[in-house]
Amino acid sequence: MIPVCEPLIEEKELKYVNECLKTGWISSSGKFIDEFEEKWADYCGMKYGIAVSNGTTALQISLGCLDLKHNDEVIIPTFTIISCALAVIYNKARPVLIDSEPQTFTIDTGQIEEKITQNTKVIMPVHIYGHPCNMDPIYKLAKKYNLIIIEDAAEAHGAEYKGKKCGGLGDISCFSFYANKIITTGEGGMLLTDDNDYAKRARSLRNLCFQKDRRFYHEELGHNFRFTNIQAAIGVAQLERIEELVEKKRWIGHTYNEKLKDIGGLILPIEKTWAKNVYWMYSVVLDESTGMDAKGFAKQLHNLGVETRPFFLGMHRQPVLKEMGLVDSEYYPVSDRISEKGLYLPSGLTLTEKDINFVVNAIKNAL
């Protein structure tokens, strides 16, 4: 079975983790945390990095920095992971959903303005499967309506919009370093920002809002969303070969593109002229001519030795959000179509050309 993803762990990771274990710096302080925060922020072109326990908590804290109130609204794409909606809900605000643009699956920027109200405070663009969002229309709206941009770059390490790194495009950006991400720390996440006040607030919120001068005296409700030196040690080692990892992802993307382009039946991922797509996960959508949905296709591929993953299911389709009245039930046709027809293929950093040939042959057979 070709797995959908496997992390690439090498000697450096072992060496740095060993150093933590030997020196006893195994908890949430230590040199690797500082180094990882500084270097990741620097790589993305941001001033401050605040490492947290995962990408979901990064999103939660980023909105926590904004002091949202009941009835405040945050614009998110419906086609995303539930972490985005949860971050809004746990910060007392309401997620307002937007459909996807059909080629990149990212938020359809042409549909945002009609959903902006007096209560809108934030736009959360999410770069999907390694392709950046179209940011200029988002910047225009943010300026016109005085909105904050919280960028979810959890799937877009090393991707670029008009030559600028994803993660360096918003007021605050959020990353995940889960094991399937381009850079992993096992579990982990980070917020990046240029704003010193947000950075200070995020550091406090991740660590129970302890006070500097009076530790066990609390003026705010915080969280324990801390990140460990051991996780950071893995991250620092991974970051030392970020260029190689991003290039490998792009090689996987281009190799699939080349081998699948004449097969028919599949809509392949694209790279907009203004984008650097890192093909975090190589995503395909079945076209109507196949008469198949992703579930049936995945089952056939599984029988042929290829593991896949289904696409996200839109937030407007999530029973828990609907039953609690947290999202509207408008029609989101692009999200619905790609959820039904889309899946991603094995895309891990350990993939070889032989593996890709195996996957491509399985696809030919399945189709």
- What minimum distance in Å lies between the beta carbon of 130 and ligand PLP? 10
Distance (Å, whole) CA 170 – CA 231: 25
Handedness of CA 279, 345, 252, 44 (dihedral sign): positive
Cβ-proximal residues to 303 (8 Å cutoff; 6+ apart), any chain = none
Q: Does 225 bind ligand PLP (CB under 6 A)?
A: no
Residue whose C-alpha is closest to residue 278's, from 356, 183, 172: 183
Stretch that binds ligand PLP, among 50-58, 91-99, 193-201, 354-362 (CB under 6 A): 50-58
What percent of the chain is helix, strand and coil (3-state, nearest 5)?
Answer: 40, 15, 45
The residues facing 96 across adjacent strands are: 75
Cβ proximity to ligand PLP: between 54 and 120 the closer is: 54
Of 54-62, 242-250, 316-324, 348-356, which part binds ligand PLP (CB under 6 A)? 54-62
When binding is defined by CB under 6 A, the residue of 7, 49, 55, 168 that contacts ligand PLP is 55
* Per-residue contact string for residues 109-148; x = within reach of ligand PLP by CB under 6 A: -----------------x----------------------
Task: Report the alpha-carbon distance of residue 154 to residue 166 in Å, rounded.
Answer: 10
Out of 81, 234, 285, 298, the residue judged to bind ligand PLP by CB under 6 A: 81
In a 3-state reduction of DSSP, which class is residue 125?
A: coil
Alpha-carbon distance of 365 to 198, in angstroms, equals: 52
The least distance separating ligand PLP from the CB of residue 165, rounded to whole angstroms, comes to 16
Q: Are 116 and 75 a contacting pair, CB within 8 Å?
A: yes
Nearer to ligand PLP, 49 or 55 (CB): 55
Could you say which residues in the range 182-201 bind ligand PLP, by CB under 6 A? Answer: 189
Nearer to ligand PLP, 126 or 246 (CB): 126
Residues interacting with ligand PLP, by CB under 6 A?
54-56, 80-81, 83, 126, 152, 154-155, 176, 178, 189
